Structure 1
């Protein structure tokens, strides 16, 4: 089969089909390879659909920023909890010493 014939025999898919394929990856957590194999499309096509119909890059950046902030806040909470525990022990120690 000539290269030109391969391109000309390409299947056309509706936007609804493409969006549902993208949702299987983004919302349901399936891998691109699994979805592509199951639907009979190429991974190249599915990646192109993800770029076109998937979450916006800015949305992904916002999610990354939120995850980074969550990690920072968890670390702060760990530190403050440790400091509180140390202060409780110190207060107990000094209460015993002065009593």
Structure 2
């Protein structure tokens, strides 16, 4: 499978044809020789709602980061609990 790289200006113009001029995604994709999947991805990235999609992606990345941190901290807490119980038992 070949992955051709397109310039950013090309992508933005393709998105404009769909959003501003009202052409269908299938028409524009067929005319430009790109897949509809690629064109939908470009619309998501460069279209009128791009800021909203980026904000959602940023929020999801932050949630994943916080979940990883919570898991690590929970494991550390459990280890410290076991160590405290062990040393308490040893001191008796």
Normalised by the length of structure 2, the TM-score is: 0.53
Q: Does 1:21 align with 2:21?
A: no
The CA distance in 2 between the partners of 1:49 and 1:58, in whole Å, is: 13
Give 4+ residue runs of structure 1 displaced > 6 Å after superposition. Answer: none
Following superposition, the deviation at residue 11 of structure 1 comes to: 0.6
**Cα distance per residue 1:16-43 (max 9 Å; x no partner):** 0000000000000000000000000000
Task: Report the RMSD for the aligned CA atoms in angstroms.
Answer: 1.6
Question: Where in structure 2 are there 5+ consecutive unaligned residues?
Answer: 53-92
Following superposition, the deviation at residue 10 of structure 1 comes to: 1.1
Residue 25 of structure 2 corresponds to 32
Aligned length: 52
Query: Out of 48, 51, 54, which is 2:41 matched to?
Result: 48
From the CA coordinates, give the structure whose radius of gyration is larger.
1
The CA distance in 2 between the partners of 1:58 and 1:11, in whole Å, is: 26
